[in-house]
Amino acid sequence: MAETNIPDQLEEIIDDFQALTEPDRLQLLLEFSRELPALPDRLADHPEMLEQVVECQTPLFLHLELDQDPAGTVRLYFSAPPEAPTTRGFASVLAEGLDGLSATEILAVPDDVADRLGLAQAITPLRMRGMSAMLGRIKRKVTEATAAA
Amino acid sequence: MCGCYVWKFSARIVVRLKGGRTFNRKAVAVPVPAETNEKFAAYAHPERLVSTQWLADHLNDDSLVVVESDEDILLYETGHIPGSVKIDWHTDLNDADTRDYIDGEGFAALMSAKGISRDSTVVIYGDKSNWWAAYALWVFTLFSHSDVRLLDGGRDKWIAESRELTTETTSVTATEYPVVQRNDARIRAFKDDVLAHFGNPLIDVRSPDEYSGARTTMPAYPEEGALRGGHIPSAASVPWGRAAAEDGTFKERAELEQIYHGDAGLKEGDDVVAYCRIGERSSHTWFVLTHLLGFDNVRNYDGSWTEWGNAVRVPIVKGETPGSVPASR
């Protein structure tokens, strides 16, 4: 198992959540859900390019691109319906926390990062599994993409 | 429904609507009449449903409280019916430590915090064809809250009709809700009740793959840890969603009769136990059998597959057929 490390841009988000009381953390997750960037047209017009994360309760689609630079910069694209704000919130946290990092940095993110947001009590451990599943899927896809590159 | 509204609270519920308009709602003990229409009249207990139009017309009724109950814990916050309050199936209705529902004190505290009095007319709506709303209604019934209804078609129909939603916080003045002990016996089954129930009809409301044992959770849902896949011997498979039409409303009585009497073979007067994975989807079926088709003896086995699929020395059946009836224990 490689050494784990939380990248700064993700650490900042975790700190923001940790600084709040639990009800306010839910509010912050809601803010994140509103800020999930829309898909660029080239993906929005081609839903078949997106892969569904089947472990999530509601449809979440994920697409990942590896830049052709030496660092292997990863670009992440998510799509989830407005009636799934919790899923959108998780996706938005991961988008802001991981987008633009290198493949190595993403693979080093600890698997329990979802727990560190401090939301388990407020939204139940059951629902947190969706976010862990998302991170797991991102890592699998990063591994596949780097192996193919 | 009885007309015995003897409680005398006058809780004030202050509702702020978009545009800063504020009005006070004075909840007094005036019964809210049931909706009458042709579709509902065919059901056994038509007073348990209201239509979106009826709700829109009655939103300002004094003793009406609207409750939203969803699968997604943040959905209410993205926009809800003006004046509605939120009840979460997991964080509000389940006990935090014991796998059980909240007790009488907990329910009284919850109702008080939501501005609900013992004589309030409660209309519950939610996402996914009222799946979680039906679960909340079933829990209200455990506490014998007398007037609790579902919004036919739920959240999706309200939105599809472009009706008003707001993100304004509903501010609630606490009520004095009495501590009522939960009455499980009538509508809730435990594992031992199911073992003693063999020979009577069981309805498995999960998806076909969960029923056959091909998988232990709903398609596209996380695995929730059942050791074995399959169903309780002799249970008929009737996925819960069959009771809902395309727009999330309940199907008409004749269609429901075809499904539950025709296909599943239930007979009038049957003693029925319904189950799913944790008891939420089967609450929806419990509502259909009890309030729409008029079965008097329907229990929801909330332990469901997450208990049965893991329990020691209980029989299961794999595959698509119900299997034979084991001796009851």
Q: Which of B151, B202, B276, B293 is catalytic?
A: B276
CB pairs under 8 A between A and B: 55
The amino acid present at A38, given as its one-letter code, is A
We report the CATH number of the domain holding residue A22 as 3.90.1010.10
**Number of domains into which chain A is organized:** 1
For residues A82 and B78, the answer to whether their CB atoms sit within 8 Å is yes
Distance from the Cα of residue B88 to its chain's centroid: 12
Q: In this predicted structure, what is the pLDDT of residue A49?
A: 73
Per residue in A109-145, pLDDT tens?
998 888 899 988 778 777 787 788 889 889 999 998 8
Compare all CA atoms of chain B with the CA of A128 and give the residue at the minimum distance: B222
**What are the structure tokens assigned to A65, written together?**
């691109």
pLDDT value at B83 more than 80? yes
Per residue in B207-250, pLDDT tens?
998 899 987 665 545 555 678 899 999 999 999 999 999 999 99
- Edge-to-edge strands, sheet with B188-189: B188-189, B297-301, B271-275, B202-204, B236-237
The answer to whether residue A3 is domain-embedded is no
> CB distance from A51 to chain B under 8 Å?
no
Which of B9, B49, B32, B78 lies closest to B287 in space, CA to CA?
B49
The answer to whether residue A100 is domain-embedded is yes
The amino acid present at B65, given as its one-letter code, is V
The answer to whether residue A1 is domain-embedded is no
Per residue in B249-306, pLDDT tens?
999 999 999 999 999 999 999 999 999 999 999 999 999 999 999 999 999 999 999 9
The single-letter DSSP state of residue B208 is H
The answer to whether residue A40 is domain-embedded is yes
Of A26, A59, A130, the CB nearest to B222: A130
Could you give the CA distance from residue B25 to residue B147 in angstroms, rounded to a whole number?
Answer: 19
Chain A interface mutation, best of B68, B71, B73, highest count of A Cβ atoms under 10 Å: B73
Nearest CA of chain B to the CA of A16: how many Å? 19
Which chain B residues are within 8 Å of A130, Cβ to Cβ?
A: 222
Active site residue B4: no
The answer to whether residue A76 is domain-embedded is yes
**What are the structure tokens assigned to B322, written together?**
């119900």
pLDDT value at A55 more than 70? no
Asked whether this complex has an ipTM greater than 0.85, the answer is no
Q: A47-61, B101-115, B270-284 — which is least confidently predicted?
A: A47-61
**What are the structure tokens assigned to B306, written together?**
């997450």
Q: Give one DSSP letter per residue of B68-128, joined into a string.
A: E--SSTTTGGG-B-TT-EE--TTTTTB-SSSSSB--HHHHHHHHHHTT--TT-EEEEE-SG
Chain A 4-43, residues with CB within 8 Å of chain B CB atoms:
26-27, 29-30, 33
The answer to whether residue A23 is domain-embedded is yes
Tell me which range, A42-56, A80-94, B237-251, is most confidently predicted by mean pLDDT.
B237-251
Distance from the Cα of residue B299 to its chain's centroid: 12
Enclosing domain of residue A62:
8-148
Contacts of A38 by beta carbon, 8 Å cutoff, 6+ apart: A44
Compare all CA atoms of chain A with the CA of B79 and give the residue at the minimum distance: A83
> CB distance from B169 to chain A under 8 Å?
no
pLDDT value at B318 more than 90? yes
pLDDT value at B24 more than 90? no
Read off the pLDDT band of B132 (50, 70, 90): very high
The answer to whether residue A44 is domain-embedded is yes
The answer to whether residue A129 is domain-embedded is yes
- pTM assigned to the model: 0.87
Of A52, A83, A126, the CB nearest to B75: A83
Mean pLDDT computed over A93-118: 93
Q: How many residues does chain B have?
A: 329
